[in-house]
A and B are shown apart, each in its own frame.
Chain A
Amino acid sequence: MTATGRYMGARVRRNEDARLLTGRALFVDDVHLDGMLHVAFLRSDYAHALLRSVDVAAARRRPGVVAAYTAADLGDYWRPGPLLVPPPPIRGLVFHARTQVPLARDRVRHVGEPIAMVVAESRYVAEDALEDIVVDAEPLPVVVDLEAALAPGAPLVHDDLGSNVAAHAVQRKGDYARARAAAHVVIARRFRYDRGAAAAIENRGIVAQWDPRAEELTLWDTTQAPIPIRNGLARLLGLLESQVRVIAPFVGGGFGPKIMMFYPEEVLLPWAALRLGRPLKWIEDRRENFSATTQERGQIHDAEIAVARDGRILGVRDVFLHDTGAYDPYGLTVPINSQCTLLGPYDVPNYASEFTAVFTNKTIVTPVRGAGRQHGVFVIERLLDFAAKQLGIDRAEIRRRNLLRPDQFPHNHEIIFQDSAPLVYDSGDYAPALERARELIGYDGFVQSEQARLRAAGRHVGLGLVCYVEGTGIGPYEGARVTVEPSGQVRVATGVGTQGQGHFTAFAQIVADVLDVEVDQVHVVTGDTREFHWGTGTFASRGAVVAGSACHAAAVRVREKVLELASGLLGAPPDRLELAGGRVRVRGSSDSAIPLGELALRANPLRGAVRPGTEPGLEATAYFGPDRGSTASGVHAMLVEVDPETAQVEIQRYVVVHDCGRVINPMIVEGQIQGGVAHGIGNAFYEQLVYDEAGQLLNASLMDYLLPTATDVPAVEMAHHETPSPLNPVGVKGVGEAGAIPTGAAFAQAVEDALSDHGVEITEIPLSPNRLFELIEAARSARAR
């Protein structure tokens, strides 16, 4: 049965908002427990150093301090973290797993790496005590720059490896050399694409409590993956999985870094809570967040495109470097996303892509909303822009000519995606979305007359128009349990964590339609392992696709139980019954209907017998595991005005036409897009993690790390285009990352277009006004020469 009904596609107000807006939603820092102690971490000031000794004796003596630990105190508990995402089976792949440790023992490899942990009566005292700790460290040469990291004689982040290569992967399709030989034009450029921190409004936080009577450990954690945290902690601590309860309550934004595991704090707080027999709290502060929470960062691409005279892509070749930071527990998800997403919505018959992931003395890189897809989209979109210019083809037209046609789906790109499955697009219809975006931004009028009119008036306005795809909704699986209670209300439990995506509403809409009840009668719980303990987590734009489909499957089974039970009571076969308004009746009959609640009561009798082979209650659990992800897509267009004198840029309009398959709730989808575009604009114009040659982050505060604010982000004009996914019963594709993916490419094209009379070529993101000034000046002196 596919998902239909009155709530599918409706602008339903969010079930969770009453709690959130009135301040009643529980966040980790809202957890206050009797006798709770507070934790602070001493973190490395050095990007690379040998640790000779760490002396916490004075810290332990400070009044109010309960404990202070170093790596030596952890004994057998000290061990490197697990490899969270093993690399996909790519032939010839080189991969060196080097994972983070709970507390540095003999060497620190990035600023912010934890060295010691203090437990005290208050966070104030704990931080005072950090100053009592004496660290004897010998600074080592530091690896910061990607290319310098690979130069002969470079300092080594992991000296047992002999080089700073973390991974090397080659993926090929067709024969690029032959494509190149047949090309009318070959365009080659070097691209730099840098990304920043996720900068969620809520930093990470953990509360750990050991209850000796229940023999149960409870962890409130801002994680995106509560179930894997529970399972892993049970293993580490020698407890039964059922003795560990992980609760990811309301979380103020995830965006990827909150799925990294294990963060050292996630390993250390439960251990210390068990040892001390008192609950512990650690709330990451913003300064810690900049060095202790994972980030995305830079790639350098040397790419070329071979095109025919009519602009058709014959092939693409790309060789790139990827900064993975000091450790690589998240495997190759980010660079493989770059590699795969570069192909975009286009028919690229020949592709040769090779990357080297590089260890550096910087914070660990793991996915951040978009997760490397930005980098790939930037490269292909810029290459198409340059090709269009050289061939004298309109930039929208060169894209149109290369889009995959609807009859080419499912489309196999013949390379391997991050989920280890072949990169196959399930469905799509790209040309209408491009056309719609052109209309909405007023492309033809702008290009044909408006731009020249503005230029004559001394104004430099430019347009950007780019396409992208996003592989979403990958496996392995999620599950859900749906229960009709005797009150007639419906309870849904699923394992994914939630960080603001509207799960409490979107999942409720799916279930409400199947059971035909009011959406506010469906109560969703997520992220509490006591409620549901099978699943993986929230990542890869997969919540609606995978958990949503599991909710649907469970609701369908409950519906069957409802009809079967009612069938006996009403004396009519299930297919003659109808379920409407929370009641079951014989179709066309005016006899009284039975409310769902009454059926739930009858399904769980206090006397009599539940027939063999049946189950009590109106409850079902179901799972959904897609073979591969569904491919969302879209087109972004923007208008910018640039002041060439000051290099200031103002975004005038922003248009998104996107296709995430069936839309469950347009309001939630639009919120995701608007937020994603804000992230994308931050990436394109404001945010950059600036490291100096010593590996120190120079802008580790929200005063200097510039997040775009409400006044910097335009209201995005949106249109939905629906190409249902055939891979799941709801027909959905993910949308969580879409807004953030092509923004840099659109921004670069728009700014370059605005400055076309200055001859500026943009091959890098982010572009600060300062950098844009340099590019304008360089172009000026190049022209003067």
Chain B
Amino acid sequence: MKPAPFAYHRPATLDEALALLAEHGGEAKPLAGGQSLIPAMNFRLARPAVLVDLNRVAELGYVRAGRDGLQIGAMTRQRAVERSDAVRSAAPLLAEAMPFIAHPQIRNRGTVGGSLAHADPAAELPAVMLALEARFRARGPQGERWIPAGEFFTGILETALGPDELLLEVVVPKSPARTGYAFAELARRRGDYALVGVAARVTLDRRGRCQAARITLFSVGDGPVLAAAAAAMLDGQEPSPEAMRAAADAAAQRDIDPPSDIHASAAYRRRLAAVLTRRALARAVERAAQASQ
């Protein structure tokens, strides 16, 4: 379990990093926290010829409450997000999800941008960012661009980023009033990748009916899955236990086409998706009701 030979660069600035990526193109791989890439290299499942280590690029590590929402630099450690007061107040769903990401030791190294750019279908952060309608800022030789979360994740371990592009920042927009959140996942052991996970955001109208629901599931497909059918069933509805159960069942039966693997069959994943979605919706609605008072 030793990696294949590779060249290693450790730039100090973003410009240097981008220049290295431009120089080496598809041969190069940016190294963020290394919690997925390094094991993959040790198994020789990933064999980049060039590693561009971003850990000295200090300008990419920050959490700020900006005018447009919460701004998180791509190299911000997951542990820093977990402990951030700004995150807790501006994006409580994200705060609630953070402790589910692996273990503290891994979150000490793992970065927000690394996890998003890695795009593991079983990872928490992509689903949370999709639920929160986050926007991703990326820069490459052609300059900078914004990518909405809904367009960022394109497949298993695949994103809209080009090989010479770097994810710089994630912006989580402010959420509307009367909004509640919930995050839930089940894993075999604490810290494992989820068998199924769900992130839910519910906004109530003034009369307590569901104005907008946004539900994302993960570990059930090629990437984070937006449960559109489930959300549509709740639109304008009284969020009764029956309505939430029906929406959760729709999420499990219509919105996802989960895979089978050695840990969970597709049927079991559908069951977990239904139960977790139901429980998450109930909690999100309860919090939204509290926020409405």
- Residues of A near any B CB (own CB < 8 A): 123-124, 127-128, 131, 285-287, 645-648, 686, 690, 698-699, 701, 703-704, 706, 708-709, 711-712, 768-770, 773-774, 777
Contacts and interface: CB of A to CB of B under 8 A. Distances in A.
Contacts of B192: 703, 706
Max count, chain A CB within 10 A of own CB: residue among B190, B264, B268: B268
B241 to A, nearest CB: 14
A128 B271 contact: no
B262 A699 contact: yes
Nearest to B263: A770
Contact of A711 (B186, B190, B263, B268): B190
Contact of B1 (A285, A699, A704): A285
Nearest to A122: B2
Given A645-B271, A706-B188, A124 B263 contact: no
Contacts of A703: 39, 192-193
A698 B262 contact: yes
Given A127-B2, A646-B271, A690 B190 contact: no
Contacts of B3: 124
Given A645-B271, A646-B275, A769-B268, A712 B2 contact: no
Contacts of B272: 646
A774 B268 CA distance: 8
Contacts of A769: 186, 188, 195, 264, 268
6 contacts: A646-B275, A647-B268, A686-B189, A712-B190, A769-B188, A774-B268
Contact of A768 (B2, B186, B263, B267): B263
Q: How large is the interface on B (under 10, 10 to 19, 20 to 34, 35 or more residues)?
A: 20 to 34
B268 A773 contact: yes
Contacts of B267: 773, 777
A131 B44 CA distance: 11
Binding site secondary structure of chain A: loop
Contacts of A706: 188-189, 192
Contact of A646 (B5, B186, B190): B186
A519 B227 CA distance: 66
Contacts of B43: 287, 701
A1 to B, nearest CB: 50
Nearest to B1: A285
B240 interface: no
Contacts of A648: 186
B234 to A, nearest CB: 21
A703 B189 CA distance: 10
Nearest to A707: B189
Given A128-B4, A285-B1, 12 more contacts: A124-B3, A131-B4, A287-B1, A287-B43, A646-B271, A686-B188, A698-B262, A711-B189, A711-B190, A712-B189, A769-B188, A770-B263
Interface in B111-135: none
Contacts of A686: 188-189
A123 B2 contact: yes
Contacts of B276: 646
Which A-B residue pairs are the 8 nearest by beta carbons? A285-B1, A127-B2, A124-B2, A711-B190, A773-B268, A690-B262, A645-B275, A770-B268
Contact of B262 (A127, A647, A704): A704
Max count, chain B CB within 10 A of own CB: residue among A124, A647, A709, A770: A770
Contacts of A127: 1-2
Nearest to B103: A709
B265 interface: yes
A123 B267 CA distance: 44
Max count, chain A CB within 10 A of own CB: residue among B39, B189, B275: B189
A704 B122 CA distance: 13
B42 to A, nearest CB: 9
Contacts of A286: 1
Contacts of A287: 1, 43
A708 B275 contact: no
A699 B261 CA distance: 10
Interface in B18-68: 39, 43
Given A287-B1, A287-B43, A770-B263, A709 B271 contact: no
Contact of A770 (B1, B2, B190, B264): B264
Contacts of A701: 43
Nearest to A127: B2
Given A123-B2, A285-B1, A647-B268, A709 B263 contact: no
Contacts of B263: 704, 768, 770
Interface string B157-194: 00000000000000000000000000000101111110
B37 to A, nearest CB: 14
B279 to A, nearest CB: 9
Nearest to B275: A645
A703 B192 CA distance: 8
Interface string B75-108: 0000000000000000000000000000000000
A708 B190 CA distance: 10
A364 B4 CA distance: 30
A777 B271 CA distance: 11
Contacts of A708: 189
Contacts of A709: 189-191
Contacts of A773: 265, 267-268, 271
Interface string B197-211: 000000000000000
Max count, chain B CB within 10 A of own CB: residue among A286, A686, A773, A774: A773
A166 to B, nearest CB: 27
A287 to B, nearest CB: 6
B7 to A, nearest CB: 14
Nearest to A124: B2
A583 to B, nearest CB: 52
